[in-house]
Chain A
């Protein structure tokens, strides 16, 4: 609903509800991320001190879907129902923060916006490892099915970002040689 109380032709209630429902379900509101959690948990099994583990995250959508949902809420009924729970997801590092919280990672957590370089998170992780700042790193990148396809995939309506854009997630575990 717009502030005037009339739905515009793009944003209708069920889409906005879908975005919010996804967002508030937590701890991993992006369904595709759940696919990597068991794998990452396996890598960390037996690692009790996680202060030397770093998490390096890169995404080509950042917090866009949450930004959109929050923006819609600002426009709805004059902003009477702006949700603090929604706002917190509008920070690009919140998914990485959620995962770090879930995995109890207390080393550095770095979040990158994915530009042209798909290796940005892994390169950073390697630098932290080489500098002996961490002993192991988990890198996660999430991107549209074809990250170089600016013409089609990324032009899907923004309100679909909460669930129906085809996403890929790539997780890796990097460690210092013993």
Chain B
């Protein structure tokens, strides 16, 4: 069971606030989440992010003794790296230090694992958590925490790739304007045990690598296709059982085209497709779990939020939700969440209501 899902972004401090915005977003409402360079470097949000995580974890009210923590991030607290440049006496930082600091702050005393698989980091962490839980019968739960910031470092990097949409991201829109970096944290527990009717289950997952290019997705989408097949197979499901797709949807031409191609090829029944980066920006490794919080709410509300910023989609064979929240034509029992990233990584996770 997926429990205790919480999020923090500079704009939204709870899942409820995020979902209020997500389910009421419109084509015009794109986020410029990361585009505030003139006022501050988002890297400085890290202490706020850690505070939010600590508060969120405290809110679980569960025994954390022996509970493993999987921390997922792409760049972690980049300020430490930036500080150390030019200071030969400074200790060399590593991402695992961020994981250990968060574990200490939250009171975890079990195993701490730090995963950094680019933009698929937090979905990969969820997969790792599932394996950890299934391989150790004595474990009751595994905690997953993820965080990343739209630091000036990251923004300069994406700008050098000419991937930034200054006006905000518009996933799957014909404008193909690019992505908009965002900052976020998200956390959840993956637990075994008795389920309640409203509980959300992790039904299946898959991870696969493109082995095609380091920074561009495989144009044929073979890695994502394999990840989706693997997730569906693990869930003892058929492709037709997917009721809604929540795509990675960065807003960049290559990534959107690859995803659209894969979804069109795999899903003949054209399930409704939504994406959240128009609202939240691209929150790097945190994006998977952050956006999964909206997917959980879709299962509860039986409603699908529109893709913020999407005005006109020119990809054939997909069914993007545009304009208003959509009541599905069939009950939402399952949601497929995908993520892809640099290095050729692809992740697919399927969640569903326990009482589906």
* Contacting residue for A71 out of B82, B124, B127, CB 8 A: B82
Q: Mark B66-99, 1 if CB is under 8 A from A, else 0.
A: 0000000011001001101111111111111101
Given A64-B93, A105-B211, A109-B209, decide whether A90 and B157 contact each other with a Cβ distance below 8 A: yes
8 Å CB contact of B161 from A87, A93, A98, A126: A87
Confirm or deny: B134 has a beta carbon within 8 angstroms of a beta carbon on chain A: yes
B160 touches A82 (CB 8 A): yes
Complex Cα spacing A109 to B346, Å = 9
A67–B78 CB distance below 8 A: yes
CB–CB B209/A158 < 8 A: no
> In the bound complex, what is the Cα–Cα distance between A2 and B326 (angstroms)?
53
Q: Are A93 and B81 in contact (CB under 8 A)?
A: no
Give the contact-size bracket for chain B.
35 or more
Contact partner of B87 (CB less than 8 A), chosen from A10, A55, A96, A101, is: A10
Q: How many residues of A contact B (CB 8 A)?
A: 64
Q: Which residue of A lies closest to B87 (CB)?
A: A10
B81 & A71 in contact (Cβ 8 Å cutoff):
yes
In whole angstroms, how far apart are the Cα atoms of A130 and B131 in the complex?
Answer: 9
The answer to the question of B207 belonging to the interface, with a C-beta cut-off of 8 Å to chain A, is: yes
Number of A-B contacts (CB under 8 A): 191
Bound state CA distance, A95 and B135, in angstroms?
28
Bound-state CA distance A86–B222 (Å) is 26
Identify B160's interface contact among A84, A128, A130, A159, CB under 8 A.
A84
Chain A residue at smallest Cβ distance from B134? A131
Q: Which residues from B are CB-within-8-Å of A124?
A: 113, 128, 131
Task: Decide if A167 is an interface residue (CB 8 Å cutoff).
Answer: no
Asked whether B132 is an interface residue with its Cβ less than 8 Å from the other chain, the reply is yes
If the complex has contacts A68-B81, A71-B153, are A127 and B131 also in contact, measured as CB distance less than 8 A?
Answer: yes
User: A88 — which chain B residues lie within 8 A by C-beta?
Assistant: 161, 214-215, 342
Stretch at the interface among A30-38, A39-47, A148-156, A169-177: A148-156
B interface with A by C-beta (< 8 Å): 74-75, 78, 81-82, 84-97, 99-100, 111-118, 124, 127-128, 131-132, 134-135, 152-153, 156-162, 207-215, 222-223, 226, 230, 341-345
Task: Taking A68-B84, A109-B344, A110-B207 as given, write out 13 further A-B residue pairs in contact, using a Cβ cutoff of 8 Å, ordered by the A residue number.
Answer: A60-B94, A68-B85, A71-B82, A84-B160, A88-B215, A91-B118, A92-B95, A94-B214, A100-B344, A112-B96, A113-B94, A127-B135, A131-B131
The 6 closest A-B pairs by CB, nearest first: A97-B343, A115-B96, A87-B157, A157-B88, A113-B95, A108-B207
